Structure 1
């Protein structure tokens, strides 16, 4: 490409390129840099105005990312475009290309870092204070992984053999992981709790023989306030290996109990018991009656099983409803003459042999005299 007013510069050369070519490359570099900077500024203004009106998270995130587009990287891209108008030779062309690719990779890493920071901040705002540490650690691990990958890609782009480096990092990572495997296990268990949320602070859980409310979720341990007031500390790794019952997420409660009726109760009263129970349970609010059956001949009682569902997870309300049902059952049974059974054992004594009876009688007579 030839420009007329640059003709006097053709007689001079540098690196096998005339000054006219260098001037043209410089003009292209400046124009390309200015054009990219203008497009960046224009897009930023448009998106900033749009995000201010709609409050869209994606627009705000793109604005934050584009605002971290550095002029140095834009200039590197401009120099690459300008270099295409020069004949620099294979070595110099390869160097300029590698610098441009490295600038692109670093700029992508900067955008990714901004995106991860914004995601971490959003996650921390949506969570309680006890889980912010886990969110911070998760964000740090993701950012460290991002930058490690980018650095390795940049080194590989410049022709550095990263195979040995990756292998050494892998061996070192395995050694460190073996040394702190318990701590890392608890750390990743904490991240699992943060992401999967099997329970949250304030939830009432049962783990083995421990019942209580979750009080704190940390990087290594989770603390539960037991029913007796004591604080029970679980390792996060051990906690996730256990079977956890989360009562706060219960939508309804299934209640089952047994009434033991005394032997000798008439058949008519036994047939009326299920109907009486149904009337009592269905009359209570937030209670769904399921069944009432005579289901077992006990050793000392006739057993009836009653099942109903309480439409609330609240334990206090459930106990209030159960108390009302029990009192009403007791009251109705008193009115109907239905007797509850009590544990009873009958011991029968066999009659002693005739000779033993006479001996006991003689001994008793002698004692009286």
Structure 2
């Protein structure tokens, strides 16, 4: 029985849940610090460590072909996508609103106080840095919240906005009117990336990954400290799985905190984005785009549930020699019979 389980694990390992569809290398080779995946296109923000230049690269989702490039004078900061529209934030305080069907775009000026993180919400977008503010599509401020320092995108789950504040090492929760909901979620370290889906909030801090239940007051469900430093986290569409890109590791987990699949790259992962396809941005300006088979993830979850150790799928180079040894051993035993 153990041999059968191991051979089943080999089959799953070979049938990786990730299938690479294409890759794109930005001409500048600057780090891809933000990526958003639409229904038709993928937009990557590539900028150097000085944040003084860089561009937004608009790519065809099917084949990775470059469709357009937007290079703000002050440098490309961050990206967000919702309902056919991309919001592209520059470090010099402009937001470029891009229609992914026509590829037409307009720009509005919101100021450099809100130039590090952005998320689209009904009626406009919320942008953050030295505080947060909501703007309509004409660039007019609806409200603002001060006293925050935000270095990455806020998250929106359809009802509330989740803001990672580096000053207080907490996540501040706002409603669509800019009013704070409850008390901030306090962390023992600085939050770096947040993702919200349904009744879950995931926080990738400088070190650990934290998952909270939002069904009543925010409740910490679990912490993992073995997934790499900094990085980004996203939920898959049904809120059952998370993808974390941190350091050189890409990790796929379920909401129970079990590590289902992990792969290590030779380069640092800077950004991840999901929308019926997984985009991964690297420090050298390379963007990978994958088809992610959630059926394989369900199969892995089932195998791990029946496996006492509950270990993630072993990388192929390690598991194949073991499988071959077990096969030869079982073959010798059958011949003796």
Provide TM-score, normalisation by structure 2: 0.20
More helix by share: 1
Q: Which has the higher contact order (CA 8 A, sep 6+)?
A: 2
The structure whose Rg is larger is 1
